[in-house]
Structure 1
Amino acid sequence: MVARLFRSGLTLLAVFVVVWIAVIVWWQSVNRMPTTADIFTYLLLLPLGMIVGYWVIKRAVDGIRSNVAAGRELSAAAPAAARADAQPADAQDTTRQWRAVLLASALRAPAGGDAASVVEAVQANAQPGLIDVQGVGQPVFAAPVDGLDTEDLRAELRDQHPDLDWPDERLRALALAGQVAEELAAHAVAHAPQPAESEATRLIVTALLPREWTPQQQAAADAWLRQRIAQMWPADHLTIEPIAAKGDADALLLLDRATQGVNRASDTPVLRMVLVSDSLVGPSAVEHLMQHEQLFEAHRQHGRVPGEAAAGVLLCAQDMAQRLMPAALAGDAPPAESFTITRASVTRLDAPTPDRGQPQLKALGEAVGHVLDTLAAAAAQSTHDALPAGQADGDGASAPISVAGVVSDTGMHPVRTVEVARVFAERLPALDVAADLLPVGTPCGYVGAAGPLLSVVVAHQLSQQTSKPVLAITANDIQQRGAIAVVPSLT
């Protein structure tokens, strides 16, 4: 802040000095003796008018840029949402009851390298500090992952792709993705050691990459991730699907697609990994936020705090999980050892999220309601199946669903904070908004497309701690809203 004021002061002084020199030289060239009115007009009003005019024009241009950027973001996000949950969930759709077994989850975030650390940071109300991301002596609020070294990765990519330029934030995102991918691949090997070749399990990795990456960078990231995972998993039984993000809720759409995928009949056993990584901790990303007036500052509470994170989950079908870990699912071990995820529900706001004013509650409320209805229907069906044959036809009331908490990807944005809190209070009145709502964006900052899956991994941790369902919701996108639940397998 001090550096910015100093630079602004120097700029104003330079304008006055240049105008004074030009006017004095002009007066001397025409041999003019200035009057008091001339001095007041040319030496005071003229430079002030130039400064005010520049400020007005700059504000107008920045406003146009912000509107154009918002329009592009909105139009880019629209296709993904339209393809998936643009329409309300069909209550008669039996596939809405499908679940996928959550074999493992992993994350890398500013608050720590595991979900428990993120939970502790949120509960402690930890917040990002000031960091000179651009290296120009002008610190901004940012949330980097500590100890992340990208120099070896930079050298490796330079050797393999000398024609590609890798800004710091893109290197950091790829490095984080590699760490999470390796951890989940190790879990895949532990859960499904390769049997005979004809029965070998196929690992399908869906990698969601930041929207700003070029196709060449996406291809390079695909090859690099494939090389890392192939060190642990046979390359001929490995499929990697790199996908560029269109909206901040895309991770939930891909997670929902993976849940449907593991539930469809297949001749080959399949494990599915969904991986997403994003970073805004770099000079280019911070400059972009500043140019579009989206950087969080004391006078811009609706701005974004640059953060970074990677998150991933490893999924399989329930019948496959029974073969991989029969004891846990058969009841010989505590139920909390195995967890499932529900189908995701993704909806859209009628208009983009405003920076000020009242929030729109309908879209997020519908998404949360769909997930709660799915949990209630599953519980009712379980109760019905457990009744004796004579009582099964009666009106057996099932116990209400007990949700332990909600994890959101939101941070300090005032409108989104109110939106999430009000939907939370309306849909889950038995819970405490201060204790049971965990906004991971508070300690981790804005992490782009990684936010929703980061919330899912943290929800997995909370569900392990409480042995109850935990909801993960996303409200960071300009218009997309979504929800999903992590549930103990026997719930």
Structure 2
Amino acid sequence: MRALLVAIVVFAAVWLCAIGLWRGTGATPGGVQMALVLGVLPLALLGGVYVVREARRREPTDAGASPGVMAPDGTPQDTVTAPAMAVRATAVCLPSADNPADALAALVQPRRPGLHPTLRDRDGLPVFAASVEHVDTLAADGMLQRHAPGVRAGEEALRALALLEQVAETLFADTAALLPRAVQTDGQVVAGMHHREAATAGERVDVQLLLPAAWPTALREASATAMRQCAADCGLPAAQLHVQAVPVADAREAWSRLRLVLDAAATPVGRDQPRRWHVLLAADSQVGAQAVRRLESAGLLLGARHQEGVLPGEGAAGVLLLPAADCDGAIALLHPLVDGETSLASLRAGARATADLLERAMRQAAIGASSIGLVLSDADQRSAPAVETAAAVSLACPDLDPVRACAALCVPNGALGIVAPVAQLALAAARVAGSSQPVLALSLPDERRRLALVVVPPVADDFTTHDDADASTTAA
């Protein structure tokens, strides 16, 4: 029954994608092309998944090897790692929804973006795009001019700033409500005079704005100034606030920046040093005439000439992160990033390599595949990432429902670029908070590189290592 369901899903997905692209682009496929796409392609995908699963079942496994030790054959096993960061608050503004809960609901039965009402390609034809409705670019331009009167921004940058302001206000307000206030010391009496000492801050809020590297430096700095004022207006004390604009070229660099934040959590903090809270914000937009021209000139735009092209999208996302040691009140915990490379030799080899990465991430987090409640990827409408993700998840988490438990972030939201990693974290944490089940995040930032991240509920018992469990059993 499960095999029949998978077959129906694969055929339906391939047919819907093919027919939708043909109708949207006005292409007229011939009989041979229709037979190959509607018949041979889904059969090949099913055959590839079957072959990979059969090969995996024949692989010898060593059930006795525990994480962090050596297997009997001398092969080093993965070491169990503790969560690196705690998530306290999240916020998103995407084409599909303006809050994490609704954005997650939109991934259950994703609605594919349609033709944009105003954007056109070089032939004057409308292009597919995923845009946020009712974006107030005039307000964004006014905000920019208040802080940097000489700085000018294009349509895409103004849309990104408007989305960023909306997300930042939500996250800054949540951070201000959670942040303990600075303690005012009573001072001391010297020579008959009472000296009142300055307030000492217990926490420092580091705000990192991930903004497109293509933006001028002056525009990024003006955005940081505007966000600093926005944070102050939301109640964050200026003395405890540090805002930095970080130029990021693509999703790979965004993940690298996130890795730096996670690694910083492992750095010991002295007793006299303030604890650091990290607010990570990202915003970008490709919904504009200039962005469409750039994509079309590079041969990347989705259209009749390139049916596996990029569908322009936009959005903003943010997360409030604390060291995992300060997990009181956290909605989710993040394990360290695990990265690797997939294989380009064949569909089977690529799926197997990606599945290995997912399994390694779960082993290092001491999480069983059966406990995963959702796999959240950044796959989009293109067939190759979708097929690789589905096949890898089927191998790594065979008990998951391939229809309901494998969500693709960029299908309803288009290409999110540097926003995708932060949006994945925000939605994964929101899902964990709502379901109390671990979530596995998978990123496919380019043709070869893959990243995986396990997000778990903040329950201490879930992170007991095998050695701790054995010790408890022995003591009993």
Structure 2 CA distance for aligned equivalents of residues 124 and 474 of structure 1: 20
Number of positions where the alignment pairs a residue of Structure 1 with one of Structure 2 = 368
Alignment of 1:112-131 (within 5 A): 112-131=97-116
The structure whose Rg is larger is 1
State the shift of 1:162 in Å: 4.7
State the shift of 1:268 in Å: 0.7
Matched, 1:172 2:133: no
Which residue is 1:437 aligned to?
A: 406
DSSP-derived class of the 1:446 partner: coil
State the shift of 1:116 in Å: 1.7
Which residue is 2:338 aligned to?
A: 345
Normalised by the size of structure 1, how large is the TM-score?
Answer: 0.69
Structure 1 CA distance for aligned equivalents of residues 118 and 338 of structure 2: 36
**Structure 1 counterpart of 2:166, one-letter code:** Q
Matched, 1:134 2:119: yes
DSSP-derived class of the 1:143 partner: coil
Would the alpha carbon gap of residues 284 and 362 (structure 1) be closer, same or farther in structure 2, given more than 3 Å must change? farther
Matched, 1:212 2:214: yes
State the shift of 1:257 in Å: 2.2
Which residue is 1:329 aligned to?
A: none
Kept in 2, the 8 Å contact 1:100–1:263? The answer is: no
State the shift of 1:135 in Å: 6.5
Matched, 1:277 2:283: yes
Normalised by the size of structure 2, how large is the TM-score?
Answer: 0.71
Which residue is 2:316 aligned to?
A: 310
Which residue is 1:458 aligned to?
A: 427
Alignment of 1:66-145 (within 5 A): 96-134=81-119, 138-145=125-132
Structure 2 CA distance for aligned equivalents of residues 359 and 167 of structure 1: 43
Normalized per residue, the structure richer in helix is 1
Would the alpha carbon gap of residues 427 and 246 (structure 1) be closer, same or farther in structure 2, given more than 3 Å must change? same
Structure 1 CA distance for aligned equivalents of residues 369 and 358 of structure 2: 16
Kept in 1, the 8 Å contact 2:144–2:223? The answer is: no
Q: Alignment partner for residue 350 of structure 2, among 357, 360, 363?
A: 360
Deviations 1:351-376 (A, max 9, x none): 7xx9x988834663454233211221
**Structure 1 counterpart of 2:338, one-letter code:** S
Structure 1 CA distance for aligned equivalents of residues 102 and 247 of structure 2: 29
Kept in 2, the 8 Å contact 1:143–1:443? The answer is: yes
Matched, 1:468 2:437: yes
Structure 2 CA distance for aligned equivalents of residues 199 and 164 of structure 1: 34
Which residue is 1:257 aligned to?
A: 260
Alignment of 1:411-426 (within 5 A): 411-426=380-395
Which residue is 1:233 aligned to?
A: 236
Kept in 2, the 8 Å contact 1:364–1:475? The answer is: no
State the shift of 1:156 in Å: 3.6
State the shift of 1:308 in Å: 0.6
- 170-179 or 307-316, which deviates more: 170-179
Structure 1 CA distance for aligned equivalents of residues 105 and 369 of structure 2: 29
**Structure 1 counterpart of 2:331, one-letter code:** S
**Structure 1 counterpart of 2:365, one-letter code:** L
Would the alpha carbon gap of residues 287 and 171 (structure 1) be closer, same or farther in structure 2, given more than 3 Å must change? same
DSSP-derived class of the 1:102 partner: strand
Kept in 2, the 8 Å contact 1:408–1:452? The answer is: no
State the shift of 1:347 in Å: 2.8
Structure 1: runs of 5+ lacking an equivalent: 6-89, 326-336, 380-398
Would the alpha carbon gap of residues 135 and 427 (structure 1) be closer, same or farther in structure 2, given more than 3 Å must change? closer
State the shift of 1:442 in Å: 0.9
Would the alpha carbon gap of residues 122 and 98 (structure 1) be closer, same or farther in structure 2, given more than 3 Å must change? closer
Structure 2 CA distance for aligned equivalents of residues 91 and 277 of structure 1: 39
Q: Alignment partner for residue 168 of structure 2, among 181, 195, 201?
A: 181
Kept in 1, the 8 Å contact 2:163–2:316? The answer is: yes
Identical columns (%): 27
Kept in 1, the 8 Å contact 2:120–2:127? The answer is: no
DSSP-derived class of the 2:97 partner: coil
- 419-428 or 477-486, which deviates more: 477-486
Structure 2 CA distance for aligned equivalents of residues 405 and 357 of structure 1: 23
**Structure 1 counterpart of 2:87, one-letter code:** L
Deviations 1:209-229 (A, max 9, x none): 123212222222222222211
Kept in 1, the 8 Å contact 2:355–2:396? The answer is: yes
Which residue is 1:333 aligned to?
A: none
DSSP-derived class of the 1:174 partner: helix
DSSP-derived class of the 2:98 partner: coil
**Structure 2 counterpart of 1:280, one-letter code:** Q
Which residue is 2:53 aligned to?
A: none
